[in-house]
Amino acid sequence: DIQMTQTPSSMPASLGERVTISCRASQGISNYLNWYQQKPDGTIKPLIYYTSNLQSGVPSRFSGSGSGTDYSLTISSLEPEDFAMYYCQQYDSSPWTFGGGTKLELK
């Protein structure tokens, strides 16, 4: 199985700050990488697919990039509703696996 490692596991940040969450795969995944957001009530929302494509309705302050084994999610200017958990997920090979998550917390 491909292991997905997210860093950091938690990140205190301030409103308006630019943040980047990293996701590293245990082997190359050819950009087959998605990002999701989970709110405290458990609601899961897709953000980005195929490394850098923004899901319809997701604000443009979210962006994704990367290649090979290293990928990242960037939020350019944090809004109150962005404080949540974030997960990366690879679909290069089955079983599809998720990173351990990054908790974005208000500083």
**Rounded to an integer, what distance in angstroms lies between the CA atom of residue 81 and that of residue 5?**
24
- Chain residues 57-96 in contact with other proteins, contact rule CB under 8 A: 87, 89, 91, 94-96
Tokens 């050819």 found at = 30
Q: Which residue has the tokens 């290069």?
A: 92
The smaller minimum CB distance to other proteins, of residues 17 and 63, is found at 63
Contact predicate 105/11, CB 8 Å: yes
Minimum separation from the CB atom of position 94 to other proteins (A): 6
In angstroms, what is the minimal distance from the CB of 69 to other proteins? 18
Give the binding-site size for other proteins (rule: CB under 8 A): 24
One of 8, 44, 61, 79 touching other proteins (CB under 8 A):
44
The nearest distance, CB 62 to other proteins, in angstroms, is 15
CA 13 vs. chain centroid, Å, equals 16
Q: Work out which of 11, 22, 46, 70 binds other proteins, going by CB under 8 A.
A: 46
Contact between 22 and other proteins by CB under 8 A: the answer reads no
- Token output for 82: 């962005």
Query: Is residue 27 within 8 Å of residue 2, measured between CB atoms?
Result: yes
